[in-house]
Amino acid sequence: MAWRGLHLTNAAKLSLADRQICVKQDAGEIRLALEDIAWIVIDTPQAVFSSALVSACMEAGIAVVFTDDRHTPSGLALPFHRHHRQGAVAKLQVDAKDSMKRRLWQTIVRRKILNQAASLSILDRESATTLMEIARHVEPGDPSNVEARAARFYWSHLFRDFVRDDDSDLRNKMLNYGYAVVRAGVARALVASGFLPAFGVKHDGSANAFNLADDLVEPFRPFVDVLACKTVPGGTDKSGDLTLEHRRAMAGVLFLNGKVGNEKVSLLVAAEMAAASFSRALEFEKPALLELPELEWDP
């Protein structure tokens, strides 16, 4: 079972050898078993892949994230669908009733807001209880857009002098990096469970190949937020470039632990549990079967 991630930041030549990823760098060579790797982040323009390795990564279900020259994640490679019940799962997804989708979205948004409340509490910010109260008012489909109201409250209490779409802010750079990695983990889990990630519950962008991943990733985002705050001094540093240390920290977000039911699991495993439970929820038309991670800080 895959449990490791690979974050490449220096020049490297990668190839396949005996079902292992062979990474050659100036400092030497290492080999990693394919079956142990869940995701790879290519954070350097000087990485060279062999075609055999790319094919093997896709066969093994490894998500590969690429970054641009500013170290911003810019692309994601995933395998074609290989689930043994691909047709059956896809039919469940496509045939899902609108009422079911609305109730699933209600479940997702509630957990996201409750995790945002936990984030404020963990970081010793004020008014976590206010978000917990706001979460109670999310209705099926969230027609009143409680999610947006909670977001405005959350960001104003999480950071000082913060604008979420300010690309020059170091905090946004870190958040975007972490969100891209955790989104890749969720997309990987969905594909492994037989879903068509382009068809979402709430997100429905015609140019977005990962609408469903963007739905299920929402409750995972507050984990990224806490990690970013813990990585920069007091979570208040808004200037500067995304350093190697910052990128390494955010690339490891899937190693963080969350609570799913009575289990403490990594976010990588939580993503797999969310995807599998999403299938059960659709099959039995019971949104309560959807298992999403609860934020409890345990780095």
Question: pLDDT digit string (tens) for 141-185?
Answer: 999 999 999 999 999 999 888 888 888 889 999 999 999 999 999
Burial of 143 (0-12, 13-18, 19+ CB in 10 A): exposed
Residue 299, domain member (yes or no): no
Rounded CA separation 7/57 (Å): 15
pLDDT at 293: 98
| CATH code, 135 | 1.20.120.920
The answer to whether 279 and 193 are in contact (CB under 8 A) is yes
pLDDT at 207: 86
Provide the token pair at 235: 């979570």
pLDDT at 82: 61
Query: Based on the domain organization, do 158 and 281 belong to the same domain?
Result: yes
Q: What is the DSSP string of 155-205?
A: HHHHSSS--TT-TT-HHHHHHHHHHHHHHHHHHHHHHHTT--TTS-SS---
Residue 172, domain member (yes or no): yes
- In angstroms, the Cα distances linking 189 to 2, 58, 122 are 11, 13, 28
Residue 148, domain member (yes or no): yes
Measured from the Cβ of residue 64, the count of other Cβ atoms closer than 10 Å reads 21
**Choice among 102-111, 131-140, 222-231, 240-249 with the minimum mean pLDDT:** 240-249
Q: What is the DSSP string of 91-119?
A: HHHHH--HHHHHHHHHHHHHHHHHHHHHH
In the structure, what pLDDT confidence band is assigned to residue 81 with cuts at 50, 70 and 90?
low
Residue with tokens 């500013």: 70
Rounded CA separation 5/251 (Å): 8
Residue 9, domain member (yes or no): yes
The alpha carbon dihedral of 223, 226, 232, 236 has a sign of positive
pLDDT exceeds 80 at position 84: no
Query: Based on the domain organization, do 282 and 139 belong to the same domain?
Result: yes
Query: Based on the domain organization, do 42 and 96 belong to the same domain?
Result: no
Residue with the larger pLDDT of the pair 164 and 85: 164
pLDDT at 295: 97
The alpha carbon dihedral of 111, 116, 119, 120 has a sign of negative
Question: pLDDT digit string (tens) for 5-40?
Answer: 999 999 999 999 999 999 999 989 999 999 999 999
pLDDT at 200: 94
Query: Based on the domain organization, do 36 and 92 belong to the same domain?
Result: no
Residue 297, domain member (yes or no): no
Rounded CA separation 184/77 (Å): 9
Query: Based on the domain organization, do 91 and 231 belong to the same domain?
Result: yes
Query: Based on the domain organization, do 99 and 189 belong to the same domain?
Result: yes
pLDDT at 299: 65
pLDDT at 253: 96
CA dihedral 278, 1, 5, 180 (to 10 degrees): -10
Residue 267, domain member (yes or no): yes
Query: Based on the domain organization, do 36 and 130 belong to the same domain?
Result: no
Residue 104, domain member (yes or no): yes
Question: For the residues 111-132, what does the mean pLDDT come to?
Answer: 95
Residue 12 domain boundaries:
4-77
Query: Based on the domain organization, do 167 and 221 belong to the same domain?
Result: yes
Query: Based on the domain organization, do 144 and 196 belong to the same domain?
Result: yes
Query: Based on the domain organization, do 108 and 34 belong to the same domain?
Result: no
Rounded CA separation 102/140 (Å): 5
Strands 20-25 and 263-266: unpaired
Domain final residue, candidates 48, 77, 106: 77
Question: For the residues 109-124, what does the mean pLDDT come to?
Answer: 97
Query: Based on the domain organization, do 54 and 106 belong to the same domain?
Result: no
Number of domains in the chain: 2
Query: Based on the domain organization, do 61 and 173 belong to the same domain?
Result: no
Domain final residue, candidates 77, 98, 126: 77
| CATH code, 22 | 3.100.10.20
Residue 298, domain member (yes or no): no
Q: 299 Cβ partners below 8 Å, 6+ apart?
A: 227, 230, 256, 257
pLDDT at 83: 57
